[in-house]
A and B are shown apart, each in its own frame.
Chain A
Amino acid sequence: MSGLFASLSMAARSLEAQRAGLDVAGQNIANLNTPGYTRRRLDLAEVVYGAGGVEVVGTRALRDRVLDSRVRSAIPDLSREGALVDTLALVETAIGAPGQGIDGRLASFFDAFSALSVDPTSAAARDGVILQGTQLASAFNQTASRLADSVRLADTGVRDAVQQVNRLSKQIAALNDALAAANGANVEALKDQQLTAIEELSGLTAVSVLTRADGGVDVTIPSGRALVIGGSTYDVSVGNGPSGLATLSLGGATITSEITSGRIGGLLYARDTLIPGYQTRLDELAFGVAQEVNTLHQGGFDLNGAAGIAFFTPPAVVAGAAAGLAVSGALQGNPSLVAASQTGAPGNNQVALAIAALRTQPVLAGGTVSFTEGWAQLAYRVGSDADSAKTEQGSRRDVLSQVERLRDQVSGVSLDEEAASMLKFQRAYEANAKYFTAVDDMLQTLMRTVGGQ
């Protein structure tokens, strides 16, 4: 049985422990809205030696490594789809509604040739053909330039994201240094920051994380190249590829094709695979139009009986045909050069008829697809890519929020819980204080007795 003084010091320790409990509740409540904060719990233990009582073993952050890593692995997929959705939304505006994109212009162009076939010698009909040709060409030019803009925008996005990757790598490395130097001090706050940084990094590209003994982490991209090892970082550097687009390299190796997930992965996929696919289709369409119209036009005769010239400036290759499509300069100011006649007779309309008939003729893709169908296929491709990215984004978001909710159940702060715990420690403090007063009273009684008054 210990003495009264021992009881007094036990009561003092208990008061301290209850106050620490109140502190933890306060800390938890203070960080209700702090992103990445993991709730803390006070670990108390009974003192087994001396007068007994309670002691503070420490505060613990309630982390779940498994759930953390599941959250980390769900993030890159979501942000990849997010990047695709953003990029394709822009591409979609280049397609327009049915009848308002290149399809409408194609119809107007062939309409003009139909009108010319009714009145092959009419100057107005000839002007109409040239005007519609010019508008068709400029519709192709605009669509091509919008697609090129989308590529450039995705490229800028990649460059920005790489800078963020490097910044986050440095932050993680700095945290590694701090953790290594902590030497047993409370590092939970550093770990919270570490988790936030890694998750932010996962949004840019998927990463593998290896935890070191001191709590630091080594971070590598999925192909195994390191971004962070201990306190050292390896920067992803951005070079300019042949077409002026960013190429990424890490430690001397080109990694552009190795990053397939996260925001960077999504942007690269849109930049290097999806949009170039649309551009090729658009170019094939423009090239097909120029070639077929030119062939017929050059096989005919103009109003003066001279052989027809090329209607569109002939594109040399498929690539870039849409961006460069233009009505021949010679035709622009001289509608009599429009070749409507097959024979040289001014009233002959067979070339005009033949060009108007291109409207429905399957001439693309080895003679299986008409111009309109070619455009419809492009619109379908863009639409279904954008649609599936949107759907995919939705389901990825569901997955992530499910896992986050699971983690939140372990690591999140509950206001009710903290309020209850506050009350609990407050009451315990009151009770201990009462005990302290009781012991103190007893001591005073004893003192009076010993004093012999």
Chain B
Amino acid sequence: MRVTFSAAYGGIEYVNTAAEQLARARQQVQSGKRLEKASDDPAAMQRAVEGRAELRAIETYSRTADSATAKLTTLDTTLGAVIDKLQQATVAAVSVRGTTATQASREAAALTLEGVRDALVGDLNTTFRGTYLFGGTQATTAPYAKVAGAWTYQGDNTPVRVEVGAGRTVAIAVDGEAVAQGADPTNVLDELETLIVAVRAGDNVGIGAGVDALGRAFSRATRTQSQIGVDEQSIFEGQLQLTSARLAVLTRVSKDEDADLAGAIAEMNRADVAYRAALGAVGTASRTSLLDYLR
């Protein structure tokens, strides 16, 4: 084989190749990423795009769960207050049932009941950052208002639900009518109005009917509260799941996107050696020729 001038003095392309490999290895070590553009690893790119979208979805679920938790806590507390008040009203009404109650005690009980009624209206019309929680999807209208002398439900019967996980929804606004009225012909506020009249009049039958109505309202409120509790529990469990799912996806995405640092550093050292070797080879080749010996 003849070794020609261009073969001996060439070889600069090998230096280029080695330099390119070194630059690439160095970039991986510096950035910590093995996937910077699609052609670095097309299949990993596809997986990473899908993985990142999954991550975003999980993060959104978490954020939604956080805001839902705030509303659920408010709902829970409010329903707790409603239950307390219904108990208080029942106690007051029962205390004046029978023939022994004096007019003064009746009046006192009636005043208590009026207080309870006003407080219940306040509870049912609870807002969270400007939206009503007991009006179903009618978020901007107070659920209970007195229309033509009667307490009227102005919300609707559709609870507002949000997604806190794949296929996992919780209610962030409930049907107030289901709490206040349920299957009864009249709502608990109107029942209270009737009860107050009955208490003042010493109408024992009326008081009995009113106490029964309060009892039904009590069980509706407790049932709703326990549903809220289930939702809160579901969020809590969901959060745990989301955290582990997020970690799993993150690990997967990282495997596709991030450089294995130890490997990258080893690769960089190898590329460095190769680069020096190529430089050395080209440098040595250019140093000698027969001309050096012809003197």
Q: Which residues of A contact B (CB under 8 A)?
A: 32, 88, 92-93, 95, 97-99, 101, 103-104, 106-108, 110-111, 114-115, 117-122, 341, 343, 345-349, 353, 356-357, 359-360, 372-373, 375-377, 379-384, 386-387, 390, 401, 405, 408-410, 412-417, 419-420, 423
B38 within 8 A of A: yes
Supply 15 A–B pairs (Cβ within 8 Å), ascending by A: A32-B5, A107-B57, A114-B163, A115-B60, A118-B172, A346-B139, A347-B131, A348-B158, A356-B60, A376-B50, A382-B42, A383-B38, A387-B40, A413-B4, A414-B8
Q: With contacts A111-B60, A118-B67, A383-B46 known, what are 11 further pairs, Cβ within 8 A? A: A95-B38, A99-B52, A104-B52, A111-B63, A122-B129, A343-B156, A356-B163, A380-B43, A409-B2, A412-B6, A413-B4
Contact A121 B38, beta carbon cutoff 8 Å: no
B3 within 8 A of A: yes
Contact A118 B42, beta carbon cutoff 8 Å: no
Inter-chain contacts of B52 with A (CB < 8 A): 98-99, 103-104, 107
Inter-chain contacts of A103 with B (CB < 8 A): 49, 52-53
For B156, give its contact among A32, A93, A345, A384 (CB under 8 Å): A345
Contact A360 B39, beta carbon cutoff 8 Å: no
Interface centre among B38, B40, B56, B162 (most CB of A within 10 A): B38
Inter-chain contacts of A121 with B (CB < 8 A): 130-131, 139-140
For B291, give its contact among A97, A381, A383, A415 (CB under 8 Å): A415
For A119, give its contact among B60, B131, B138, B163 (CB under 8 Å): B131
For A380, give its contact among B8, B42, B173, B290 (CB under 8 Å): B42
For A387, give its contact among B39, B49, B59 (CB under 8 Å): B39
Q: Mark B151-179, 1 if CB is under 8 A from A, else 0.
A: 00000101011110000000011000000
Q: A376-B46, A383-B42 are in contact. Are A415 and B290 (CB under 8 A)?
A: yes
Q: How far is the CB of B242 from chain A (nearest CB, A)?
A: 14
Contact A419 B290, beta carbon cutoff 8 Å: yes
Contact A97 B5, beta carbon cutoff 8 Å: no
B13 within 8 A of A: yes
For B173, give its contact among A98, A111, A347, A412 (CB under 8 Å): A347
Contact B163 A345, beta carbon cutoff 8 Å: no
Inter-chain contacts of B161 with A (CB < 8 A): 349, 353
Tell me the complex Cα distance, A117–B164, Å.
Answer: 11
Q: How far is the CB of B162 from chain A (nearest CB, A)?
A: 5
Contact A419 B139, beta carbon cutoff 8 Å: no
Tell me the complex Cα distance, A346–B137, Å.
Answer: 6
Q: How far is the CB of B61 from chain A (nearest CB, A)?
A: 8
Number of interface residues of B (CB under 8 A): 61
Tell me the complex Cα distance, A372–B130, Å.
Answer: 35
Inter-chain contacts of B45 with A (CB < 8 A): 98, 376, 379-380, 383
Q: How far is the CB of B73 from chain A (nearest CB, A)?
A: 14
Contact A414 B4, beta carbon cutoff 8 Å: yes
Inter-chain contacts of B294 with A (CB < 8 A): 419, 423
Contact B163 A373, beta carbon cutoff 8 Å: no
Tell me the complex Cα distance, A345–B51, Å.
Answer: 36
Inter-chain contacts of B47 with A (CB < 8 A): 376
Tell me the complex Cα distance, A92–B40, Å.
Answer: 10
Contact A380 B160, beta carbon cutoff 8 Å: no
For B4, give its contact among A88, A347, A360, A408 (CB under 8 Å): A408
For B57, give its contact among A88, A347, A360 (CB under 8 Å): A360
B257 within 8 A of A: yes
Q: How far is the CB of A24 from chain B (nearest CB, A)?
A: 15
Contact A114 B63, beta carbon cutoff 8 Å: yes
Q: How far is the CB of A246 from chain B (nearest CB, A)?
A: 27
B262 within 8 A of A: no
Tell me the complex Cα distance, A195–B193, Å.
Answer: 109
Q: Mark B84-126, 1 if CB is under 8 A from A, else 0.
A: 0000000000000000000000000000000000000000000
